[in-house]
Amino acid sequence: MSNPVREHYEKYPYPSYPLFLLGSWKDLERVDLDRWGLNREARDLWIVGCGSISALMFGRRNPRTRILATDLSSTSLRRLRMRLWLHGVHNVRLEQDDFLNSERVNDFDAIDCYGVLHHIEEPKTGLHKLARALRPGGVLRLMLYSMRARAEIEKLRSRVQALKIANLKTLTAWMDDEEIARLGELSSASGLADALLHPLVHVFDEHKLRELIDSEKTLEVVKLEEKSNFILTMRKNS
């Protein structure tokens, strides 16, 4: 069955990053599972919608954890597999999978779903799947687009959609004509495609976020940051 989100990420794997580059140990603090407030060792981690690099970071920083990294996009997984091989990271298993079809129950101590739930039709259904796959006491990290942080990008994306611009070449030509600066996430091809050519995006304000959180009774929020987008850490009831 056709899936516009999968087709998008087959064409524009995310993020784009030179294959040989490795972040510093300090840069990996945010993916250090010992800092996620889990009251035990994380034996099993699921990275949902892993894209082309995050599993390399988790694998390096958490060498004793068994990691399953899944994504819709075979292109992203191919790049990730190459990175893991190049950098000698062996504790990550990759699978091409739509997590909405997952039947996993109580399988993971930790789940990372960073920048993914806002790209599915019904985020509440996705959150329920993730909660079910967590073990009691396990933690989930979510990143969701904030309406405030995405306001300008979403305005631009609406214009791009109204003009039916569907590829990077036409997009960059249009931006040049309109003198729209390509800064920040708009400065790389994959960032530009992710921001402006994406077929399915939800953005959250406090109310929508609260509705999403309240829809899943087995999870409680232990940390909520809104530096730019929302980053939540949630724990499953024991």
Binding site for ligand SAM (CB under 6 A): 5, 9, 14-15, 49-51, 53-54, 70-73, 76, 98-100, 114-116, 119-120, 194
Identity of the amino acid at 199: P
∠229-231-236 over CA atoms, to 5°?
Answer: 150
Nearer to ligand SAM, 228 or 237 (CB): 228
Q: How far is the CB of 179 from ligand SAM (least distance, A)?
A: 27
Cβ at position 39, least distance to ligand SAM in Å: 25
Smallest CA-to-CA distance from 134 within 236, 63, 3, 35 is with 236
Torsion of CA 205, 164, 116, 104, to 10 degrees: 120
Nearer to ligand SAM, 62 or 76 (CB): 76
CB of 46 or CB of 213, closer to ligand SAM: 46
| Closest distance to ligand SAM from the beta carbon of 224 (Å) | 18
**Summary count for the chain: helices (H), strands (E):** 8, 7
Query: 4 or 137, CB closer to ligand SAM?
Result: 4
> Among residues 30 and 136, whose Cβ is nearest to ligand SAM?
30
Q: How far is the CB of 173 from ligand SAM (least distance, A)?
A: 24
Task: Kindly tell me the sign of the dihedral angle through the C-alpha atoms of 185, 187, 163, 71.
Answer: negative
| Token couple for 135 | 């073990």
**Least Cβ distance, residue 158 to ligand SAM (angstroms):** 19
**CA atoms of 62 and 28, how far apart (whole Å):** 10
Q: How far is the CB of 48 from ligand SAM (least distance, A)?
A: 6
Strands (E), 106-179: 108-114, 134-144
Rounded CA-CA distance 179/185 in Å is 16
CB of 13 to ligand SAM, least distance (A): 7
Which of 51/138 has CB closer to ligand SAM? Answer: 51
And the tokens for 66? Answer: 């068994």
Kindly tell me which of 187 and 237 has the beta carbon lying closer to ligand SAM: 187
Walk across the sheet containing 230-236 and list its strands. 92-96, 66-71, 44-48, 108-114, 134-144, 230-236, 219-226
